[in-house]
Chains A and B, each alone.
Chain A
Amino acid sequence: MDAVERANADRQKKWVKDQKVGEGTYAVVYRGRELATGRKIAIKKIKVGQFKDGLDMSAVREVKYLRELHHPNVIELLDVFSSKTNLNLVLEFLDTDLEMIIKDRSLVFLPADIKSWMAMMFRGLEFCHRNFILHRDLKPNNLLIASDGQLKIADFGLARDAADPGYKMTCQVITRWYRPPELLFGCRYYSTAVDIWSVGCIFAELMLRTPYLPGESDMDQLKTIFRALGTPTEEEWPGHTKLPDYVSIGQFPRTPLRDLFTAATADTLNLLSKCIVYEPRKRISAKDALNHPYFFALPYPTHPSKLPKTIAQTTAAASRPLDEVDGNVDLNSGAGPGATAAGTAPPKKLKRKLSGHDTSRNIARKLDFTAA
């Protein structure tokens, strides 16, 4: 065993893996704990399988960004180690996600609670954007809630650096209900504004307690957006008719947000409307959003520890499965039209793969002089 392997083994020994709690396309998630302190953690084991096609692009992206990003409102990657033929990410343990909280009908949200979540969301997002990272998959399911109430942005499987000008990016990102119209029109050059649209949709969802713009297909998504916000004019959004996948959807009148969000204050609607502006360049930035009057008006944001909690959270989540510990682990696949998540791999296959690791190790990291 050389020094590198020893260092890896030392890291591995710090963490204990308990039961499996979920499985996604490229990873299996286990609940675990830190040996020294007993602190709860989640271990995400990235399947390398039999080394067929190399590491999944999502795995590369996630690992790449989580290694660099450290912020109270971004999920913390505590450690990385490799075991046999797997990469293991040690992540902080998080109780639940915003989707579970929104769906829990027994909870009542006060305007101050929503403000608190929005503030944490914008803080985390501003940190990502400040570092030129686009998240590209914001949705309630990917906003995890820690036991102390802190909201954390998770699942960086679709994240990337803002491309240099002149370099195309894919428009097939962001779960459909949270996808901005420019991406639906096939825009290949975009910016941090795509994430802001998603945040706007989540903001509305927090108030409505149901998805704001639930389209059934990409085409229907546009129709849903236009029905809610009116068909954009050339004046409102210059040049949108020239986008690659532009199609004329039909004319819908603009209805004031006030009609739907009857209880919201003027500041609230002002911020919301700035998040879902059609013209991406006019959409508010995360930094400006944090300085918006909404966050300084009464009522002040609720302290994270006082935010509504799901029952599972309050009754010490000991027995609850942690399938939502990471957004990639998409067990309730009926929940949303996953633009990103492919089907869940059957566990049977995985077992075979895992047991076959001995034979799959063909070349050694080092030229193996000693192996029998």
Chain B
Amino acid sequence: MATDFWASSHNKRWIVDRATLKQARAEDLQYVHSPDHIDLLNIYFANLIGMLGKKLSLRQRVIATATVFFRRFYVKNLYCETDPFIVIAACCYVAAKAEESPVHIKNVVSESRLMFSQEGYGVKNFPSDNSKLAEMEFYLVSDLECDLVVFHPYRTLLTLCGRESACALDTEAGEVGVGIDSGPRYWGTGEGRLELEEGPLQTAWFIINDTYRSEICLLYPPHMIAIAAIYLTLVLNDKTREAIQAQGAPVPPPRRSSRTTSGSAHRKSAPAQQQDFVGFMAGLRVSLPTVAMIAQEILSLYTLWGRYSDTPPESGLGGNGAGEHSGGDDVVTPAFLTQLLLRMREARLADLAHPASGQPVAVNKRLERTQAAG
């Protein structure tokens, strides 16, 4: 949240293109039957981070940061060559520190152990030693190249759609530097804002939470993701959709006038239902095709997510969206995914031990042991 996004490491180094992501997953893909499995793993791991974060009572933003760290780490690493579970723990640990709400390393280790060893996950070899996590933290931070400031769509959402009382609505909300009265402020003036009711605002917030289950956070800048979430909210919410359709029924107003109606004068006189949603979107002056693309990706994430079933009770957030698209292909459970990961790892091990060159490579003894145990 600090610093200027355009000058930030997030914008300069960590918005990657699809080709990079494809390359990052290329080797993992050799070890799975269906490419969907990789995306399902993405959902699975994001869920785990969310749940571990909740256990450690981290705020939503810290969980989001941890998830972004996780995704960034796997731009450079393979699922089949690393232990994602300890990476998850390390991401939560580092994110908590980076977001100024540190948790003791011991808590992270014990909570992770407890959670991962549950029936549904079947991860039995999570280390009990603090130093293992600390070591993973070191690899994580160095692979992140020490870029620990992450921007999130939440702030954009609240800036564009939050109420003046946004702080009361949600503790995550609020602008920095409320104590500072001096200087010009564009927020609070109502200029260029769309006032959403609490319900739709929550929906948009949850959609943003859900985007972390895919690689969207690596592909697009956060403000675009926020706008896509607002767009989906407007379309999905009955009331706002009707309003948009009612607007569309008469002759669609020319662009110029739609922009002027979105001005603050109009806002003050009109109640929330009569807001000019189309004008608001147009007035944002961002690439609407990109917004549509992100929205499409969010929708396909939901479709895929329908195949994912959490046998252990899913805690709170992101429950919406799931279940809507039940049916389809085979249903995938966390236990299955853990097994899948172990199979990938074994296959990778076998490949490395018997490379095409025919020269066997010495295999790490310790890994064999842990796999025998797991």
Residues of A within 8 A of B (CB): 3-4, 8, 48, 50-55, 57, 60, 63-65, 67-70, 80-82, 85, 87, 89, 131-133, 160-166, 169, 189-193, 280-281, 285, 287-288, 360-363, 365-372
**A51 contacts B176, C-beta separation under 8 Å:** no
Overall SS of chain A's interface: loop
Complex: chain B residue closest to A77, CB-CB = B146
Contact of B191 with A by CB under 8 A? no
User: Quick one: closest A residue to B179, CB to CB?
Assistant: A191
Within the complex, the shortest CB–CB distance from A167 to chain B, in Å, comes to 8
Are A370 and B2 in contact, CB atoms less than 8 angstroms apart? no
Q: Which residues of the partner chain B approach A57 to less than 8 Å between Cβ atoms?
A: 97, 102
Q: Do the beta carbons of B364 and A87 come within 8 Å of each other? A: no
Q: Which of A67, A164, A281 contacts B176 (CB 8 A)?
A: A164
Is B242 interfacial (CB 8 A cutoff)? no
Segment at the A interface, from B180-188, B207-215, B229-237, B313-321? B180-188
Question: Quick check: A80 and B146 within 8 Å, CB to CB?
Answer: yes
Nearest chain-A residue to B13 (Cβ)?
Answer: A67
B positions within 8 Å CB-CB of A: 1-4, 7-9, 76-78, 81-83, 86, 93-94, 97-98, 100, 102, 105, 127, 129-139, 141-143, 145-149, 167, 171-183, 345, 348-349, 352-353, 361-364, 366-367
Name the one of A166, A363, A365 contacting B143, with C-beta atoms under 8 angstroms.
A365
> Given the interface contacts A80-B146, A370-B364, does A55 sit within 8 Å of B141 by beta carbon?
yes
Closest residue of chain B to A11 (Cβ to Cβ) is: B145
A8 cross-chain contacts in B, Cβ below 8 A: 142
**Cα of A357 to Cα of B199 in the assembled complex, Å:** 54
Q: What chain B residues lie within 8 Å of A133 (beta carbons)?
A: 2-3
Judge whether B182 and A288 touch: CB under 8 Å: yes
A340, B311: Cα distance in complex, Å: 48
In the assembled complex, which residues on chain A have CB atoms less than 8 Å from the CB atom of B149? 64-65, 67-68
Known: A285-B180, A363-B132. A166 touches B142 (CB 8 A): no
Q: Are A369 and B3 in contact (CB under 8 A)?
A: no
Q: How far is the CA of A50 from the CA of B102 in the complex (A)?
A: 20
The 7 closest A-B pairs by CB, nearest first: A51-B134, A82-B142, A365-B139, A64-B148, A51-B131, A54-B134, A68-B3
Residue on B nearest A163 in the bound complex, by CB: B100
Q: A68-B9, A281-B179, A367-B345 are in contact. Are A132 and B2 (CB under 8 A)?
A: yes
Q: What CA separation (Å) do A32 and B141 show in the bound complex?
A: 23
Distance in Å from the Cβ of B263 to the closest Cβ of chain A? 28
Q: How far is the CB of A165 from chain B (nearest CB, A)?
A: 5
B167 touches A166 (CB 8 A): yes
Cα–Cα distance between A316 and B4 once the two chains are bound (Å): 37
CA distance A80 to B138 in the complex (A): 13
Tell whether, in the assembled complex, residue A87 and residue B135 are in contact, meaning their CB atoms are under 8 Å apart. Answer: no
Q: Which of B135, B148, B364 contacts A51 (CB 8 A)?
A: B135
Are B367 and A368 interface neighbours, CB within 8 A? yes
Measured in the bound complex, the distance between the Cα atoms of B146 and A89 in whole Å is 10
Report how far A165 CA is from B345 CA in the complex, Å: 46
From B94, B136, B148, give the contact of A67 (CB < 8 A): B148
6 contacts between A and B (CB under 8 A): A54-B97, A60-B141, A64-B148, A68-B3, A160-B100, A370-B363
Across the interface, do B135 and A363 meet the contact criterion of CB distance under 8 Å?
Answer: yes
A51 touches B82 (CB 8 A): no
Q: How far is the CA of A55 from the CA of B143 in the complex (A)?
A: 15
Q: How far is the CA of A365 from the CA of B81 in the complex (A)?
A: 9
- Complex Cα–Cα for A165 and B171 (A): 9
Cβ-closest chain A residue relative to B83 = A367
* Alpha-carbon distance A250/B175, docked complex (angstroms): 38
Residues of B within 8 A of A131 (CB): 2-4
Given the complex, which residues of B lie within 8 Å of A161, measured CB to CB?
1-2, 100, 176
Report yes or no: A51 in contact with B3, Cβ–Cβ below 8 A.
no
Which of A4, A52, A361 is close to B130, meaning CB atoms less than 8 Å apart? A52
Expressed in whole angstroms, the Cα–Cα distance for A54 and B92 within the complex equals 13
Distance between Cα atoms of A70 and B3 in the complex (Å): 10
Q: Contact: B127 with A85, CB < 8 Å?
A: no
CA distance A93 to B145 in the complex (A): 21
B177 & A53 in contact (Cβ 8 Å cutoff):
no
Contact of A369 among B130, B138, B176, B363 (CB under 8 A): B363
C-alpha spacing A235/B133, complex, angstroms? 53
Q: Contact: A132 with B97, CB < 8 Å?
A: no
Contact check: which of B93, B178, B182 meets A54 at CB < 8 Å?
A: B93
Considering the chains assembled together, what is the distance between the CA atoms of A372 and B86 in angstroms?
Answer: 23
CB neighbours of A362 from chain B (8 A): 129, 131-132, 135
Q: Which of A81, A160, A366 contacts B77 (CB 8 A)?
A: A366
Closest beta carbon of chain A to B333's beta carbon, Å:
24
Minimal Cβ-Cβ distance residue in A for B131: A51
Minimum C-beta distance from A105 to chain B (A): 40
**Once the chains are docked, how many angstroms separate the CA of A288 from the CA of B184?**
12
A166 interface neighbour in B82, B102, B139, B171, Cβ under 8 Å: B171
A68 touches B8 (CB 8 A): yes
- Cα of A70 to Cα of B136 in the assembled complex, Å: 29
- A360 vs B134: C-alpha distance in the bound complex, in angstroms? 11
Q: By the criterion CB–CB under 8 Å, are B145 and A80 in contact?
A: yes
Q: Is the CB of B143 within 8 A of A369?
A: no
For B367, list chain A residues within 8 Å (CB): 367-369
Q: Is B127's CB under 8 angstroms from A63's CB?
A: no
Question: Could you tell me the distance between the alpha carbons of A85 and B141 in the complex, rounded to whole angstroms?
Answer: 12
Q: How far is the CA of A337 from the CA of B132 in the complex (A)?
A: 36
Task: Name A50's closest neighbour in chain B (CB-CB).
Answer: B131
Bound-state Cα–Cα, A83 to B180, Å: 43
B113 to chain A, nearest CB (A): 15
- Give Cα distance in the complex from A64 to B83, angstroms: 25
